[in-house]
Structure 1
């Protein structure tokens, strides 16, 4: 006799899913829109001075300047300069800026005087910057406080690099201490050997010029590899991040942008802030 296979089974009735109410969906959209609006106005308020400058609210007119006019490329740069009024402002240049008309290099934004300039002298063990001599003399004639820097190549002999810099650069009274520019990690040696090479370069340069060199590098490189072991040196730090608006307390110089425009110089140029005023800057120059 055939049995009914459905006997004994219990049928479970599922409750239908509740659809999101029109009110909750509308509330979610309203919250997102409100967040975006608040974020936008918060940004606009924070950068109100820079925005006002660029849209002409301060002068009640929008100024359309020529390409060679003194302009900072974005609002952040103007905001940074506003935050550091009273501190010495300067540039750093190399052959990549081409021929510079030093008689026109005076201010940024027609408001911030340029007090100093770092000029690339050498790179590695065999490369003299093509425009070094020209820039070195031009900056002097323009009565700018000047300094020379060496671009360090990690995989080349450190003492040969030091010899090239010494051969190329003759520092005078009133010049800034020499600068070691280190930006890359070695490919053919260990980090330990890199640090040994850096120390050899620094000691050779200090022995020749009788002044402790300055080290230039990026903020992350500084934090990860140099901050502790080279703590007895002064640092010039590069950081272009949007959130960074103040110079670090332990930084001697801060390169805060690579996209500034200055009359007399074609294309973009780096701008730097010294952690002090002009008189304090003169205090660290060679005697």
Structure 2
């Protein structure tokens, strides 16, 4: 009995020694499992909370990635970024009865291209919307009645950029004109921005290329044959009566010249001889016509020039093209060699002036052209005038009337003159006699182009004569325009 009791007690004690530790182990395992579950649930809820906060913009995405040790993955072209905000400044300008709206980047003060802006223009009696259809950052409105106008810009998003103007602008449009410089610098283009073949299209008129010094034979000079043929093909349809009268006058002058020139032994020369021949070179009229300072006029077409060689060849002055208005689009374009030629000529000690080839069709455009010239002259001192080049182009400037052309010339020259420069006007005999009221511009220098031995132009005086386009000067490859200043 006693032994059985001992066996039972030992069994119970052993069981307790085994069961109790196992129980503790089981309880500990259950507690750990519950803790792990709670931790996982907490992490999930925290992640959901963070994602919601990220979606709501309450926390920074980069910071969240850093806290969780997540590297940002680049998505290449599919990366979506916030649109960039661009502040736009509205610049307004009016010369007369017009309105030009420029849309500038407020930070860089440069025109904003490639955006189809829409503006609202409000006056006292009407409101109109206009778009920048050619996307050059400029909206031009002609024929605007005098009065006050306020311009508003509509917000627009383009190429992931938000464009907006902080405020509107107001301007007063006048029906009178002030011949004064306007801000044009942000409208000046270089030739890389245009179609040069369509824009730089100055052509030689038939009358300008008349050259009686070139003869195919002794009895048949170019003066007798070329003008009639070229004018019939080129200009007869434009103004038949004037041109026919001019042909007749020049033919008569050529016939009269046959008896005017006497040879060394008193014989009559049947036609004017080349300029190198002693007979014409010794003629008093020829000597008088060619007496004066020797000069040239140049542009990009003359290429790179050795100005020291030009100076050493006896050239006293140079008239340099600074720019032109495009014959098709009307763009204002700088001659690509303007700065190079100005620096070279002035460094060589050659007196300099400039010329601008106009294609303006109204006074406002002429003021713009003059303003461009004044902008380009900044920093330079001139010894010669600023000339307006008025010629045929087969472009927009050809179509205007004589009265409109006179207004263009007057606006350009007045604006330049009001800035303190001496002014001049350049054209050929045909245009001075038929396309411009030259007598009304005699307060300016008259620069005549007529390629003859002795000029036949007599409508007004002329101060400088361009007598050939086929001159040769050291330092210039090829032909160059030659001039004599009386």
Q: TM-score, normalization: structure 2?
A: 0.39
Post-superposition offset of 1:42? 4.0
Q: Distance in 1 between matches of 2:440 and 2:384?
A: 23
Asked if 1:272 is matched to 2:272, the reply is: no
Match of 1:147 in 2: 353
Match of 2:423 among 209, 213, 228: 213
Q: Are the structure 2 counterparts of residues 160 and 48 from structure 1 closer, same or farther at C-alpha, using a change threshold of 3 Å?
A: closer
Post-superposition offset of 1:106? 3.2
Match of 2:446 in 1: 235
Match of 2:318 among 117, 142, 151: 117
Q: Distance in 2 between matches of 1:89 and 1:145?
A: 11
Q: Are the structure 2 counterparts of residues 249 and 227 from structure 1 closer, same or farther at C-alpha, using a change threshold of 3 Å?
A: closer
Q: Are the structure 2 counterparts of residues 177 and 83 from structure 1 closer, same or farther at C-alpha, using a change threshold of 3 Å?
A: closer
Q: Distance in 1 between matches of 2:465 and 2:275?
A: 22
Asked if 1:97 is matched to 2:302, the reply is: yes
Q: Are the structure 2 counterparts of residues 266 and 106 from structure 1 closer, same or farther at C-alpha, using a change threshold of 3 Å?
A: same
Match of 2:369 in 1: 161
Equivalent residue of 2:439, what SS?
coil
Count of matched residue positions in the alignment of Structure 1 and Structure 2 = 213
- Max radius of gyration: which structure? 2
Q: Are the structure 2 counterparts of residues 248 and 50 from structure 1 closer, same or farther at C-alpha, using a change threshold of 3 Å?
A: farther
Post-superposition offset of 1:141? 1.3
Q: Distance in 2 between matches of 1:240 and 1:48?
A: 12
Q: Are the structure 2 counterparts of residues 50 and 221 from structure 1 closer, same or farther at C-alpha, using a change threshold of 3 Å?
A: same
Equivalent residue of 1:228, what SS?
helix
Structure 1 unaligned segments of length 5 or more: list them: 1-34, 54-74, 276-287
Contact preservation (8 Å) 1:145, 1:174 = yes
Contact preservation (8 Å) 2:307, 2:348 = yes
Q: Distance in 2 between matches of 1:211 and 1:158?
A: 16
Post-superposition offset of 1:84? 5.6
Q: Distance in 1 between matches of 2:454 and 2:305?
A: 32
Contact preservation (8 Å) 2:289, 2:454 = no
Q: Distance in 1 between matches of 2:403 and 2:373?
A: 23
Q: Are the structure 2 counterparts of residues 237 and 166 from structure 1 closer, same or farther at C-alpha, using a change threshold of 3 Å?
A: same
Q: Distance in 2 between matches of 1:243 and 1:84?
A: 6
Equivalent residue of 1:105, what SS?
helix
Match of 1:51 in 2: 277
Equivalent residue of 2:353, what SS?
strand
Runs of 4+ in structure 1 over 6 Å off: 38-41, 245-249
Contact preservation (8 Å) 2:275, 2:453 = no
Contact preservation (8 Å) 2:429, 2:457 = no
Contact preservation (8 Å) 1:252, 1:274 = yes
Contact preservation (8 Å) 1:87, 1:274 = yes
Match of 2:224 in 1: none
Q: Distance in 2 between matches of 1:189 and 1:48?
A: 38
Q: Distance in 2 between matches of 1:203 and 1:190?
A: 20
Counterparts of 1:156-195 in structure 2 under 5 Å? 157-170=365-378, 172-173=380-381, 175-184=383-392, 186-195=397-406
Q: Are the structure 2 counterparts of residues 247 and 85 from structure 1 closer, same or farther at C-alpha, using a change threshold of 3 Å?
A: farther
Counterparts of 1:57-96 in structure 2 under 5 Å? 87-96=292-301
Q: Distance in 1 between matches of 2:290 and 2:407?
A: 39
Q: Distance in 1 between matches of 2:273 and 2:370?
A: 44
Q: Are the structure 2 counterparts of residues 92 and 48 from structure 1 closer, same or farther at C-alpha, using a change threshold of 3 Å?
A: closer
Match of 1:255 among 462, 466, 484: 466
The RMSD of aligned alpha carbons is 3.6
Contact preservation (8 Å) 2:294, 2:316 = yes
Q: Distance in 1 between matches of 2:368 and 2:274?
A: 51
Q: Distance in 1 between matches of 2:402 and 2:460?
A: 27
Asked if 1:223 is matched to 2:429, the reply is: no
Asked if 1:200 is matched to 2:411, the reply is: yes
Ranked by relative contact order (alpha carbons within 8 Å, sequence separation 6 or more), the top structure is 1
Contact preservation (8 Å) 2:449, 2:465 = yes
